[in-house]
Amino acid sequence: MPAWRNCEASLSLVSEVNSRWPNRDKTSDGTIGDAAHASRTSDHNPSIVVAGTGVVRARDIDVDGIDAAWLAEHLRLLGAKRDRRLYPGGYVIFNERITTPDFSGWRRYTGTNPHTKHVHVSFTTNPAGFDDVGAWGISTAAPTIPALPEVSMPTVDDFWRAPVPDYYREDRRPMQAWDCMAWGTAHAANARDRATEAREEVRALREEVRAMRAELTGTNPLSAVQIDYAQLAAAMIAAIPRSAA
């Protein structure tokens, strides 16, 4: 009888991971613990004995060549659905995060190994669960699309705070929206003042023209001459040469 064995859930898990990512790197894979693991409590130690054989209920899977974040989250979601291979007593550790005991989410993992090189999976403490040979839905899962980076939509406040290049300056010194508003207001006020000045100027010119016209009217030499049209007509008639008659 062997001294230890992997639980069935662990074997089917690694088999599905291998079938989905056949070229993956297995350098950081692991099952039974090394001397360091053996010296402390670890699911990598065959501490639960079934039919005389110690069972290792943990599996490390190298992150290279697989979609590790997807795998970790896939396992967490199974745990959240009370998958008996993981719940109760199992957990997943990846990238400084560990699943909560009920697999409802992730919390910060503060152990010495940040688990950035491998995904650690601990299977349930329940023998009927850890030796369940059911499918994991990994080899058959649809190809994953890389998650979009988290983007927080800018608020109106963000727009107000965002620096705007000052195109009126050589060095394009950035200014804040409030500066732009003050700048715009100052220019509008300047334009208004210039328009007022122009109107005053036009008004003054009109007054000047009016005064000149009045002056011209007052000094019109023709207006001072009284013409006796009867006398003028008589003079013109008298000037007509007699010979033409």
Q: Is 84 or 120 the residue whose CB approaches Zn ion more closely?
A: 120
**If you search the block for the tokens 């005991």, which residue do you land on?**
101
The two beta strands, 4-6 and 53-56, are parallel
Q: Is 85 or 120 the residue whose CB approaches Zn ion more closely?
A: 120
Amino acid at 134: G
Q: Is 91 or 215 the residue whose CB approaches Zn ion more closely?
A: 91
Amino acid at 235: A
CA 49 – CA 131 distance, rounded (Å): 12
Q: Is 41 or 155 the residue whose CB approaches Zn ion more closely?
A: 41
CA 77 – CA 82 distance, rounded (Å): 9
CA separation, residue 185 to residues 11, 72, 182, 189, 191 (Å):
72, 56, 5, 6, 10
Tokens of 13: 């898990």
Q: Which stretch binds Zn ion (CB under 5 A): 48-56, 78-86, 116-124, 194-202?
A: 116-124
For the bound state, the minimum distance from the C-beta of residue 121 to Zn ion, rounded and expressed in Å, comes to 8
Q: Is 30 or 129 the residue whose CB approaches Zn ion more closely?
A: 30
Q: Which stretch binds Zn ion (CB under 5 A): 21-29, 118-126, 165-173, 214-222?
A: 118-126
For the bound state, the minimum distance from the C-beta of residue 101 to Zn ion, rounded and expressed in Å, comes to 17
For the bound state, the minimum distance from the C-beta of residue 97 to Zn ion, rounded and expressed in Å, comes to 14
Structural contact between residues 76 and 121, judged by C-beta atoms closer than 8 angstroms:
no
Q: Which helix (H) or strand (E) holds 183?
A: helix 177-218
Q: What part of residues 43-72 is at the interface with Zn ion (CB under 5 A)? A: 60
Q: Is 45 or 126 the residue whose CB approaches Zn ion more closely?
A: 45
Q: Which stretch binds Zn ion (CB under 5 A): 117-125, 132-140, 185-193, 231-239?
A: 117-125
Q: Which stretch binds Zn ion (CB under 5 A): 31-39, 77-85, 114-122, 234-242?
A: 114-122
For the bound state, the minimum distance from the C-beta of residue 8 to Zn ion, rounded and expressed in Å, comes to 18
Tokens of 34: 């090394």
Which residues, other chains included, contact 80 with Cβ-Cβ below 8 Å and sequence gap of 6+?
102, 103, 104
Q: Answer yes or no whether residue 120 interacts with Zn ion by CB under 5 A.
A: yes
For the bound state, the minimum distance from the C-beta of residue 31 to Zn ion, rounded and expressed in Å, comes to 9
Q: Is 41 or 152 the residue whose CB approaches Zn ion more closely?
A: 41
**Greatest Cα-to-Cα distance within the chain, rounded to the nearest angstrom:** 167
Closest CA to 63 of 94, 22, 102: 94
Task: Please give the residue whose beta carbon sits closest to Zn ion in the complex.
Answer: 120
Interface size with Zn ion, residues (CB under 5 A): 2
The contact set with Zn ion (CB under 5 A) reads 60, 120
